[in-house]
Amino acid sequence: MKGYKFAFVYRGILALLTFSGLVFNLIDQIQLGIDEGQLQHQIINYLGYFTIQSNLLIAIWLTASCIYTKRNQDHFLFKPIVKGGITLYISITGIIYVTMLAGLWEPTGIRAIGVFILHYLTPLGAFIDWLIFEKKRAYKWDFILVWMAYPLGYLMFCLIRGPLVDYYPYPFINVSVYGYNTVMMNAVKMTIFFILIGSVLVIFNNLITVQLDDRLEEERIG
């Protein structure tokens, strides 16, 4: 029973922290919208960040896991291909922020707390959860093709919406500043990076043989 309780508590705390980070950033975004007289615009922009979407996905997954930990484990949400994809997205969120975006600004106040949670704490916590609890030897190479549908769709959405509203959520896809050639090169690099990190998840999943997940399964049955 200890393994089940640990997973429940760990995921519950991480879900609460992630939702808190999302709320902190939303509050800051709302305040910015009020100050600029563009509240609706700022809320839409908030929802358009890959960071927000990936954190929302993992927060929902963690919450669902706490609710259904001992039942309905055959639900689509708990399939390895789903958990792997969400882990990939939130991992990319953390890696890209730390390596490319953190040095571009210095958030303050409530935004700084939200940024720390969503870009550092949650990505690391989600990866640790994946490392400990995910069912081992369950990933296939064709998972990566499915995982890539969301980020590629997100990129297309940003490139279509960007010129219409003159706004891009991330500088490396800003066509107005860098032009389509540079942005497409950045897109290719990002695609390769997604595939690389996805490959790491597949390799790790199939190499790691210690299965705490098996003990959890025995406890559920028992």
Q: pLDDT tens digits, residue range 18-66?
A: 999 999 999 999 999 999 889 998 999 999 999 999 999 999 999 999 9
Both structure tokens of 152: 């590629």
The DSSP secondary structure of the chain, one letter per residue, reads -HHHHHHHHHHHHHHHHHHHHHHHHHHHHHHHHHHHT-HHHHHHHHHT-HHHHHHHHHHHHHHHHHHHTTS-TTSGGGSHHHHHHHHHHHHHHHHHIIIIIGGG----HHHHHHHHIIIIIHHHHHHHHHHHHSPTT---TTHHHHHTHHHHHHHHHHHHHHHHHT--SSGGG-HHHHHHHHHHHHHHHHHHHHHHHHHHHHHHHHH----HHHHHHHHHH-
- Total domain count for the chain? 1
Task: State pLDDT tens for residues 117-140.
Answer: 999 999 999 999 999 999 889 999
Q: Estimate the crossing angle of helix 50-68 against helix 122-133, to 10 degrees.
A: 40
Q: How confident is the model at residue 104 (pLDDT cuts 50, 70, 90)?
A: confident
pTM of structure: 0.90
CA end-to-end distance (rounded Å), the chain: 9
Q: What domain range includes position 206?
A: 2-221
Q: What is the pLDDT of residue 173?
A: 96
Q: What is the pLDDT of residue 152?
A: 98
Q: How confident is the model at residue 178 (pLDDT cuts 50, 70, 90)?
A: very high
Whether the predicted pLDDT of 115 surpasses 90: yes
Q: Rounded mean pLDDT of the chain?
A: 90
Q: What is the pLDDT of residue 188?
A: 97
